[in-house]
């Protein structure tokens, strides 16, 4: 393919040089000869840029179309430079009208080289049809020797096209065809604006320079038509000649600017390498977004353990299906991806850039991935801790219920039976009766112990009436006087209520056992989505959460719910328990 | 005429012994019910003087049952009872529709006899 492009470039260059030189011997004023050199040099520049773009993006049709454009220009001039040779005249007429459709095709299909919408395809097809019709009219019926008032000078030794059939006056028909340009050109402008509006921001940035050049070209055509009644500007008209040269150069040059920006982006990759050294973990996405010029870029890191993508916070990410507004590029090999970039499809027009940036970011990405993995594991761990606490609470609740419904009920019935037995015996059986009284006392003690046990496992009042009532009931039973400062009036979620309750219950028990306190203050308040629990006594202090399993277990329970636990117990300064537990409801 | 009593409790063994205990206390046990709905129906049908009402029933709480009974025409003396203690119920026990609460642990012949004579 490279050889084909080289051949095309050589052939095109030879054509430009040959045609420019051919103007020399022709009996023309020097002005025309000089302008011929400028004209063909312009075509040569267009040809060279076209082949370079073609070389860089061989799979896109843009390079091919850009290369075709100067060919069409140059060849169409053959009809007057070699006016007395039939073949060049034929080629000249054949290529004369092709400029417009190739131009429209190039602009509307940039940068992918594909016409993406149906309307674009129809439009380009119509312009090709127009050009073909126009060319056929001239190839079949035009005769340079016939008297024509506008198109060519009368020329008695001009060659006829090889395809000439008979003379017809094509002047009027071609005039009509010229007028259709007046319709086609605004339609083209409309399609171009529509294309720009539909483009993603990144795509628009790429398309804008060429679009401006295209607008200029169409404006020049329409202006010349309006002022002179013909779309083609002759070489003798100084301002129009130079304007047409500038416009002809603008199209390939604006495409070249895109290439230049591609280079600039590569140096941005070099900046990225430096920047990533200073990028803290979790910010590689921003660095990549800046380098690639796509603020919408998202980074999804592959976690092999979970066989899924996560973002930098460790949350799962589903890769979207590629569409007109979102593209996905997987970095690394397909069987062991490192990460995926979710980005503006316009970046696909610069695949080298994406790869270069990804290669530069590889180490940082690896690091980022480890961080994300850690975070994902951490959040999984946290969730599982919370689940364990929840499961424990559920189990305690079930146990309490079972004790209440089972053993406790049977013992209560037994107590009633003993009472009845005592009543049946009456006053006569004194010995047996007092034995029964003892049995009843024993039974009552057993029931009390069982009830305490059940309450310690999970108090029914907490399940049925919530934290406020449960803590009030704790306070009533406490041997140290309790002053309740505040309690939540509403229900909180089960885990928060259970953790808060056991925090108060354990603290009150410790206070009664060790603190020698005369009063203890309990406060539970909702603040910023947390249940804030404070238990302060005025005892001897010196409690240590790391010793003894009671407070230690509570600290673990609070942390499992993502809360914080703080114990302050200076010797002689009382004991202060402070905990904040997130509560959803 | 003996005090007509109704027993509401979901445990059959408790109902059995409670019946004997009430009878020993001089009541006539006119019926029993295992859940709240049956209790409300039984009160309407039998018109008892005394209802021994368990707080934790399978379909509703004894407090709700007491309220329903009070809303009907009958005004029996309602005695709430439970295997739990008063402190397990906290503020819920402040009900206008029940005469009193006796924990099942403290359900004695003497206490029942006193209530029976009050209900009669």
A95-99, A269-273, A490-494, B16-20 — which is least confidently predicted? A269-273
- Nearest CA-CA distance, residue A406 and chain B, Å: 10
CB contacts, 8 Å: A487 with chain B? none
CB contacts, 8 Å: A458 with chain B? none
Residue ranges, comma separated, of all CATH 3.30.565.10 domains in chain A are: 466-582
User: Listing from the earlier edge strand, what are the strands of the sheet with B100-103?
Assistant: B27-33, B3-8, B50-54, B77-82, B100-103
CA pair distance A368, A554, nearest whole angstrom: 35
Multiple choice CATH, A2-260, 1.20.1070, 3.10.20, 3.30.70, 1.10.8: 1.20.1070
pLDDT for A525 equals 93
pLDDT in tens, chain B (120 residues): 688 999 999 989 899 999 998 998 888 999 999 999 999 999 999 989 999 999 888 888 888 898 888 887 778 889 999 888 877 776 667 667 677 888 888 888 888 888 888 877
Of the partner residues B83, B88, B109, the one whose CB lies closest to the CB of residue A419: B109
- Nearest CA-CA distance, residue A435 and chain B, Å: 17
Which chain B residue has the Cα nearest residue A465?
B89
- pLDDT (average), residues A95-109: 89
Q: Three-state DSSP class for A77? A: coil
Check pLDDT > 50 for residue A150: no
CB contacts, 8 Å: B13 with chain A? 409-410, 413
CA pair distance A467, A471, nearest whole angstrom: 6
- Position of tokens 């420019």? A20
pLDDT tens string A400-457: 888 888 888 889 889 989 988 888 887 676 788 888 889 989 998 999 898 888 888 8
Smallest CA-to-CA distance from A311 within A340, A333, A291, A332 is with A340
- Nearest CA-CA distance, residue B14 and chain A, Å: 5
Contact B105 A447 (CB under 8 A): yes
pLDDT for A482 equals 93
- Residue A533 token pair: 């629990």
Q: Which residues of B touch A (CB under 8 A)?
A: 11, 13-14, 16-18, 20-21, 24, 56, 83-85, 87-92, 104-105, 107-109
pLDDT for A261 equals 62
DSSP symbols for A378-421: HHHHHHHHHHHHHHHHHHHHHHHHHHHHTHHHHHHHHHHHHHHH
- pLDDT (average), residues A55-80: 85
Contact B13 A413 (CB under 8 A): yes
Percentage of chain A with pLDDT > 90?
Answer: 16
Which chain A residue has the Cα nearest residue B15?
A413
pLDDT tens string A484-510: 999 988 888 888 999 999 999 999 988
Q: Which residues contact A140 (CB under 8 A, 6 or more apart)?
A: A163, A164, A165, A166, A168
CA pair distance A84, A157, nearest whole angstrom: 6
Of the partner residues A412, A415, A476, the one whose CB lies closest to the CB of residue B87: A476
Q: Suggest the residue from B105, B106, B112 to mutate for an interface test with chain A (most A CBs closer than 10 A).
A: B105
Give Cα separations from A308 to A78, A298, B34 (angstroms): 63, 15, 55
Contact A412 B14 (CB under 8 A): yes
Contact A461 B14 (CB under 8 A): no
- Identify which has the larger pLDDT, B1 or A362: A362
pLDDT tens string A335-349: 778 788 888 887 777
Question: Any idea which architecture A466-582 has in CATH?
Answer: 2-Layer Sandwich (3.30)
Q: How confident is the model at residue A535 (pLDDT cuts 50, 70, 90)?
A: very high
Contact A420 B20 (CB under 8 A): yes
Global pTM?
Answer: 0.52
Helix (H) or strand (E) holding A6, with range, is helix A2-23
Which chain B residue has the Cα nearest residue A441?
B105
If one counts every other C-beta atom within 10 angstroms of the C-beta of residue A98, the result is 22
Q: A with B: how many residue pairs have Cβ under 8 Å apart?
A: 67
Contact B92 A413 (CB under 8 A): no
CB contacts, 8 Å: B24 with chain A? 420, 423
- Residue A575 token pair: 């004991």
Residue ranges, comma separated, of all CATH 1.20.1070 domains in chain A are: 2-260
Q: Are A229 and A157 in contact (CB under 8 A)?
A: no
Which chain B residue has the Cα nearest residue A406?
B11
Q: Are A512 and A480 in contact (CB under 8 A)?
A: yes
pLDDT for A497 equals 92
pLDDT for A547 equals 64
Which chain B residue has the Cα nearest residue A471?
B90
Which chain A residue has the Cα nearest residue B90?
A469
Q: State the average pLDDT for chain A.
A: 83
Q: How confident is the model at residue A524 (pLDDT cuts 50, 70, 90)?
A: very high
Check pLDDT > 60 for residue A151: no
If one counts every other C-beta atom within 10 angstroms of the C-beta of residue B33, the result is 24
- Nearest CA-CA distance, residue A495 and chain B, Å: 20
Q: Three-state DSSP class for A105? A: helix
Check pLDDT > 90 for residue A283: no
pLDDT for A149 equals 46
Q: Which residues contact A506 (CB under 8 A, 6 or more apart)?
A: A550, A551, A554
pLDDT tens string A225-256: 888 767 666 777 778 888 888 888 888 888 87
Percentage of chain A with pLDDT > 70?
Answer: 91
CB contacts, 8 Å: A416 with chain B? 14, 17-18, 20-21, 107
CB contacts, 8 Å: B107 with chain A? 415-416
Check pLDDT > 70 for residue A265: no
- Residue A491 token pair: 């229900």
Which chain B residue has the Cα nearest residue A418?
B17
CA pair distance A507, A550, nearest whole angstrom: 9
The complex's ipTM works out to 0.87
A177-181, A298-302, A477-481, A504-508 — which is least confidently predicted? A177-181
Which chain B residue has the Cα nearest residue A451?
B84
CB contacts, 8 Å: A444 with chain B? 105
Contact A423 B24 (CB under 8 A): yes
DSSP symbols for A113-170: TS--SHHHHHHHHHHHHHHHHHHHHHHHH--TTS--SSSS---TTPPPPTT-------
Check pLDDT > 70 for residue A37: yes
Q: How confident is the model at residue A263 (pLDDT cuts 50, 70, 90)?
A: low
pLDDT for B95 equals 63
- Nearest CA-CA distance, residue A511 and chain B, Å: 21
CB contacts, 8 Å: A419 with chain B? 21, 108-109
pLDDT tens string A379-394: 888 888 888 888 888 8
Of the partner residues A408, A410, A465, the one whose CB lies closest to the CB of residue B90: A465
Q: Are A543 and A514 in contact (CB under 8 A)?
A: yes
- pLDDT (average), residues A448-476: 86
Contact B17 A451 (CB under 8 A): no
CA pair distance A317, A299, nearest whole angstrom: 9
């Amino acid at each position: 393919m490279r050889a084909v492009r080289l051949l095309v470039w050589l052939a095109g260059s030879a054509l430009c040089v040959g045609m420019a030189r051919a103007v020399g011997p022709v009996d023309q004023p020097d002005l025309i000869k000089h302008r011929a050199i400028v004209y063909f040099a312009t075509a040569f520049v267009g040809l060279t840029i076209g082949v370079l773009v073609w070389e860089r993006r061989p799979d896109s049709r843009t390079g091919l179309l850009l290369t075709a454009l100067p060919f069409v220009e140059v060849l169409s001039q053959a009809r007057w430079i070699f006016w007395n040779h039939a073949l060049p005249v034929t080629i000249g007429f054949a290529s004369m009208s092709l400029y417009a459709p190739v131009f429209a095709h190039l602009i509307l299909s940039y940068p992918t080289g594909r016409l993406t919408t149906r309307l674009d395809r129809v439009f380009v097809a119509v312009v090709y049809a127009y050009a073909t019709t126009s060319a056929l009219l001239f190839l079949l019926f035009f005769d340079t020797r016939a008297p024509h008032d506008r198109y060519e000078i009368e020329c008695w030794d001009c060659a006829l096209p090889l395809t000439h059939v008979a003379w017809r006056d094509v002047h009027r028909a071609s005039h009509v065809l010229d007028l259709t340009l007046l319709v086609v050109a605004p339609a083209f402008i409309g399609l171009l604006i529509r294309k720009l509006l539909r483009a993603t921001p990144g795509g628009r940035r790429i398309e804008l320079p060429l679009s401006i050049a295209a607008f200029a070209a169409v404006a020049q055509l329409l202006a010349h038509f309006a002022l002179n009644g013909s779309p083609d500007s002759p070489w003798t008209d100084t301002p129009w000649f130079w304007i047409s040269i500038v416009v002809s150069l603008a199209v390939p040059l604006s495409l070249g600017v895109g290439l230049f920006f591609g280079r600039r982006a590569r140096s941005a990759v070099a900046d990225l390498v430096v920047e990533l050294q200073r990028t803290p973990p979790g910010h590689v996405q921003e660095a990549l977004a800046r380098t690639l010029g796509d603020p919408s870029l998202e980074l999804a890191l592959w976690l092999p353990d979970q066989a899924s993508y996560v973002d930098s916070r460790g949350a799962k990410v589903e890769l979207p299906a590629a569409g007109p507004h979102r593209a996905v590029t997987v970095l690394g090999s397909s069987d062991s991806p490192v990460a995926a970039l979710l980005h503006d499809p316009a970046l696909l027009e610069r695949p080298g850039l994406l790869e270069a940036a990804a290669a530069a970011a590889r180490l940082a990405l690896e690091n980022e991935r480890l961080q994300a993995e850690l975070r994902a594991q951490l959040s999984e761990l946290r969730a599982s801790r919370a689940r364990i606490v929840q499961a424990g609470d559920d189990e305690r609740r079930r146990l309490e219920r079972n004790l209440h419904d089972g053993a406790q009920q049977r013992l209560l019935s037994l107590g009633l039976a003993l009472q009845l037995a005592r009543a049946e015996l009456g006053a006569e059986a004194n010995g047996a009766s007092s034995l029964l009284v003892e049995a009843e006392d024993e039974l009552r003690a057993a029931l009390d112990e069982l009830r305490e046990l059940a309450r310690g496992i999970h108090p029914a009042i907490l399940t049925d009436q919530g934290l406020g009532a449960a803590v009030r009931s704790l306070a009533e039973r406490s041997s140290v006087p309790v002053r309740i400062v505040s309690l939540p009036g509403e229900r909180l979620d089960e885990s928060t209520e259970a953790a808060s309750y056991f925090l108060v219950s354990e603290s009150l028990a410790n206070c009664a056992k060790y603190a020698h306190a005369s009063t203890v203050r309990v406060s539970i308040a909702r603040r910023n989505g947390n249940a804030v629990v404070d238990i302060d006594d005025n005892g001897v202090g010196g409690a240590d959460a790391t010793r003894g399993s009671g407070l230690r277990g509570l600290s673990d329970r609070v942390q499992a719910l993502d809360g914080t636990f703080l114990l302050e117990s200076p010797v002689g300064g009382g004991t202060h328990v402070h905990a904040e537990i997130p509560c959803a409801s | 005429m003996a005090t007509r009593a109704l027993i509401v409790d979901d445990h059959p063994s408790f109902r059995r012994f409670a019946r004997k205990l009430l009878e020993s206390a001089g009541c006539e046990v006119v019926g029993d019910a295992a859940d709240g709905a049956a209790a409300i129906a039984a009160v309407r049908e039998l018109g008892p003087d005394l209802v021994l009402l368990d707080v934790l029933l399978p379909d509703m709480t004894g407090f709700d049952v007491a309220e329903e009974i009070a809303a009907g025409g009958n005004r029996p003396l309602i005695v709430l009872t439970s295997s739990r203690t008063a402190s397990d119920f906290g503020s819920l026990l402040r009900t206008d529709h029940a005469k009193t609460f006796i924990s099942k642990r403290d359900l004695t012949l003497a206490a029942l006899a006193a209530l029976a004579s009050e209900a009669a």
